A and B are shown apart, each in its own frame.
Chain A
Amino acid sequence: MIPPRLPKSALRAAMVMAGAGMLALPHLLGPYWTNLLNDMGIYAILGLSLNIILGHCGLFHMGHAAFYAVGAYTAAILSTRFSVPILWSMPLSGCLAGLFALAVARPIIHLRGDYLLVVTIGIVEIVRIALVNNIFGLTGGSNGLLITEPISIFGYEIFRPAHFYYLIWSMAALTILLFYMLQNSRFGRALNYIKQDDLAAEGSGINTAHYKLAAFVLGAVWAGLIGAVFAAKIETVSPQSFSFSESVLYFAIVILGGAGSIPGVLLGAFLITGLPEIFREWQHYRLFLFGAAMVIMMIFRPQGLIPPGRRHYNVWPYLGSFPRGVASRNREPR
């Protein structure tokens, strides 16, 4: 069943209007709601980066806050010690987070399901405790680090929520575009294959350890990049921001929204960051309401709010030319 297609011009017009609406949003909303949208954007990017590992590749990874922390602390340390403008250190933040992921994931990549989950929980706790203990005298212990350097891009100083809104959401748009392309690439298909059945994938000649590791590193690089943006936005990084419960939130975003689905993860990020704020008026009941909402959603939609659709490939044109046509195309996904 293929849904009826909208005419292309209508689709384009709708996208232009949505884009214009997004651009105008911070001027219509106050700083508080803009700030909330910024948090949503950060969580959306984090969710998307975890989605590569958890949603596409099916690896139960509950330590994503560790990579996020590496990125945020890299940027903060470079800014406080060496006065590197915080957004310039973004590439390095991403690379270090990726290297860290490579180092810690390499020995554990063969673990399955829950076993991997337990080890990744260990990783996030080790990172947090290392930060609290002021490792190498760099991280400032439990009070964390304070970023005093003004934050600017090309001489344009950014400090208002609206400035960050444009920065974060343009990054989110780029992330969505890249990850959408990735999802439909050979790499993306290989990850999906591993998720469905890694034995069969291995049997078909997919180097599963290599692809799993690549998924880990890619997700970590992205978490590191957004970690630097988070550090710039919040202006102070401390170990409490990278606790195990944060990792659980990212996990919940992906599972709740629909593992492997980009619109699902975006919706998940909106709900996970938005609901506690909407329930703010109820003060200390707000987390209770939030938890109840999550339980109800999981009872009625265990596959996630927007699960990824089945992939459709039209095989009719190839039927006549079998095996030649199929064989030549078949080489591509290996």
Chain B
Amino acid sequence: MKKLFFFCLALLMGSLSAQAAEIKIGLMAPLTGAYASEGEDMRRVVEFMAEELNKAGGINGAQIRLVIQDDGSDARTAALAAQRLVTDGVAAVIGTYGSAVTEASQNIYNRNGILQVATGSTAIRLSEKSFKLFFRTCPRDDEQGLVAVNTLLRMGYKDVAILHDNTAYAVGLAEETRDGLLKDGKTNLVFYDALQPNERDYNAILTRLRGTNPEVIFYTGYYPEAGMLLRQMREMGWQIPMLGGDAQNNTDLVKIAGVEAASGFYFVSPPMPDDLDSQSAKNFMKAYQAKYNATPRSIWSVIAGDAFSVIVEALRVTGADAQKMGAYLRDNLKDFDGLTGKISFNAKGDRVGDLYRLYRVDDKGNFVLQPK
């Protein structure tokens, strides 16, 4: 009995002393469900960076411990995961990917005074709630609209057709772009309508489009439809350039369209992990490649790595007080050197700075980053 008592005491002491030199950071990621591949990459990237940091001595001598919870790509599971992380006493939370999923967790973190840095949630309204402890290292949906407008203007086309697919994201991007183009006044919007996603035959809408004689088509939906459009445009022998949004940044687009039809297609998107140009990003990608023998499949997991970096930076400067960390990130963190470029936050907690790049599909079907 006595032995047991001392054993328990020793365990207690052990856990207490471990707590003193350890800071917990939560990662909420979709490890299961529809976005599981994104979640797996997020976990790998953040775990890798935490290991590196701990090897290098941690934050002011304290080691980082990651607490990873699965949000199941679903609002209900995310609320449970958030509640769990709050109970676990994390200093800050990274995540998560889907906007609606993040939203279900936002209130829980806000009420419990925990700093949250979202990584793939681009919906505008997330940062319009004046939550003092909410940040994101990904761009916002309306930023992409601005980039699309600038790209179209720079390309110098006069007659533009905009096509969307009625999903909230695509409509948002289409509206932002339309308003931007109309405000500029130099271009004519000859066509603005939606197609029905998940179909096989888009000849009807393409024929209608062709009747309006546009010089360029901007399609704001997802890659499967973009691939079908490109393929059927080629089949009907109609050759005009087409531009897409970041939901078309997927190599399956080339498979669907065929290499010949896809070549010459443009899209705006945050850079692919392989195209990150800063030295720190190149070193990171090399070390990551050596460890996992693969590169992250999309940019969003690298953005989760950036969320980890800014949290660590805030912890280093202010300690584990969430209010102070939030104030520091909002007011004092300027041009922090992240993997995806310079990071600063505005008053709403959104990332400032241009992350979007223009890509072109070359005649071998590769996505090639265009110079700025």
A residues at B contact (CB < 8 Å): 30-32, 35-36, 39, 132-134, 140-144, 146, 148, 159, 161, 234-238, 240-241, 276-277, 280, 283-284, 286-287
Contacts and interface: CB of A to CB of B under 8 A. Distances in A.
B69 A146 contact: no
Contacts of A134: 166-168, 171
Contacts of B171: 134, 141
10 contacts: A36-B80, A142-B169, A144-B103, A161-B83, A234-B76, A234-B104, A235-B104, A240-B75, A276-B77, A284-B32
A161 B104 CA distance: 14
A241 B83 contact: no
Contacts of B125: 143, 146
B32 A240 contact: no
B40 A284 contact: yes
A280 B84 contact: yes
B8 to A, nearest CB: 22
Contacts of A142: 100, 167-169
Nearest to A133: B166
A35 B73 contact: no
A236 B75 contact: yes
A280 B76 CA distance: 14
B32 A143 contact: no
A36 B69 CA distance: 15
B32 A39 contact: no
B303 interface: no
A284 B83 contact: no
B84 A144 contact: no
A238 B167 contact: no
B337 interface: no
Given A31-B86, A35-B80, A280-B84, 16 more contacts: A31-B87, A32-B87, A35-B79, A39-B76, A142-B100, A142-B167, A143-B100, A143-B169, A144-B103, A234-B75, A234-B104, A236-B75, A236-B100, A240-B98, A284-B40, A286-B32
Contacts of B76: 39, 234, 241
B100 A238 contact: yes
B306 interface: no
Contacts of B75: 144, 234, 236-238, 240-241
A141 B86 contact: no
Interface residues of B, number: 35
Interface in B62-90: 68-70, 73-77, 79-80, 83-84, 86-87
A102 B86 CA distance: 43
Of all A-B residue pairs in the complex, the 8 with the closest CB atoms, nearest first, are A141-B168, A238-B100, A284-B31, A32-B83, A236-B103, A32-B87, A35-B83, A143-B123
A133 B167 contact: yes
Given A146-B103, A284-B32, A141 B167 contact: yes
A283 B168 contact: no
Contact of B83 (A31, A144, A236, A287): A31
A330 to B, nearest CB: 48
Given A35-B80, A286-B32, A286-B70, A140 B104 contact: no
B54 to A, nearest CB: 20
Contacts of B169: 141-143
B45 to A, nearest CB: 16
Contacts of B34: 240
B100 A32 contact: no
Given A143-B168, A159-B111, A234-B104, A284 B70 contact: yes
B99 interface: yes
Interface string B1-35: 00000000000000000000000000000011010
A133 B165 CA distance: 9
B50 to A, nearest CB: 16
Nearest to A139: B168
A56 B36 CA distance: 37
Contacts of B101: 240
Interface centre among B31, B68, B84 (most CB of A within 10 A): B84
Interface string B238-249: 000000000000
Contacts of B69: 280
Contacts of A31: 83, 86-87
A141 B129 CA distance: 19
Nearest to B73: A240
A146 B79 CA distance: 14
A321 B173 CA distance: 79
A128 B351 CA distance: 32
A280 B70 contact: yes
Given A35-B80, A143-B123, A132 B107 contact: no
Contacts of B80: 32, 35-36, 39, 277
A31 B68 CA distance: 18
A38 to B, nearest CB: 10
B256 to A, nearest CB: 21
Contacts of B32: 284, 286-287
A36 to B, nearest CB: 6
A235 B107 contact: yes
Interface in B168-202: 168-169, 171
A279 to B, nearest CB: 10
A58 to B, nearest CB: 29
Interface centre among A133, A140, A148 (most CB of B within 10 A): A133
A240 B86 contact: no
Contacts of B83: 31-32, 35, 161
B32 to A, nearest CB: 5
A240 B74 contact: yes
Contacts of A143: 99-100, 103, 123, 125, 168-169
B6 to A, nearest CB: 28
A143 B111 CA distance: 22
A241 B107 CA distance: 18
Interface string B264-286: 00000000000000000000000
Contacts of A287: 32
Interface string B288-328: 00000000000000000000000000000000000000000
Nearest to B39: A284
Contacts of B168: 132, 134, 140-143
Contacts of A237: 75
Given A236-B100, A240-B75, A132 B167 contact: yes
Contacts of A30: 87
Nearest to A237: B75
